[in-house]
Amino acid sequence: MNKGQYIVIEGLEGAGKSTALETVKTCLAEQGIDFIATREPGGTPLAEKLRHILKHYEDEAITSQSELLLMYAARSQLVENVIKPALSQGKWVLGDRHDLSSRAYQGGGRQIPMNTLDQLRDLTLGDFRPALTLYLDIDPVKGLARAKARGKLDRIEQQQLDFFQRARRVYLDEVALNSHCVKIDASLALETVQQAIRSAVTQFINQCHDN
């Protein structure tokens, strides 16, 4: 199994992505799989600067279109300069968010037309897609309550509830249409969620072995 694979964790605020990432890391390590972990937006020096702007810039209102373009600029830097080189070396890559986040947050939340996102995806990513996406599904009311309990919310986390409700609908629609996505009920007990994640990742690893 020398081919690198790209696994992504997706979900709204408070869905438990950080815990899920640690669970997947443990699964990969137990299988002796060489991997790196990264995040979006971010993951390269330039992309991290763009992340700070996207999450914390307060000197000027960031338009929805600028937000979208900054997201894809950061994504392009990460994919071309980190993810693809790692995969070509046979390493697996574990990502905290990817393109599906833009479809949910900028497409659903900001209500930017999906054909605009399609064009940007084609321009920056071509046919590059994750091999497996784990979507942690949670009601935005519960997720935001968890996020607020963690501390101060960033610029995007401060959006109104209907923003996240629209984002969730897009997540659910996209995941239902993509055979490479697995939906995990993130509202369940932590141990139950972790077991579901381990099961999905183990099954995926076994499939890679079989192929």
Residues 54-57: contacts with CB under 8 Å, at least 24 apart: 54/155, 54/156, 55/154, 55/155, 55/156, 56/154, 56/155, 57/155
* pLDDT value of position 151: 81
Domains in the chain: ranges and CATH? 6-22+31-138+150-189 (3.40.50.300)
Cα–Cα distance measured from residue 64 to residue 78, given in angstroms and rounded to the nearest whole number: 21
Nearest to 66 by CA among 149, 91, 135, 74: 74
3-state secondary structure labels for all residues of 67-81: HHHHHHHHHHHHHHH
Contact call for residues 148 and 198 (beta carbons, < 8 A): no
Distance between CA atoms of residues 6 and 3, nearest Å: 10
Q: Across the chain, what does the average pLDDT equal?
A: 96
CB 107 within 8 A of CB 20: no
pLDDT for 116-168, tens place per residue? 999 999 999 999 999 999 999 999 999 999 988 888 888 888 889 999 999 99
Judge if pTM exceeds 0.85: yes
Q: Is the dihedral of CA 127, 41, 138, 24 positive or negative?
A: positive
Mapping DSSP to helix (H, G, I), strand (E, B) and coil, where does residue 113 land? coil
**What are the DSSP calls for 140-170, one per residue?**
HHHHHHHHHHHS---TTTTS-HHHHHHHHHH
CA distances (Å), origin 201, targets 37, 62, 86, 187 = 15, 37, 19, 19
Counting as low any pLDDT under 70, the low residues of the chain are 1-2
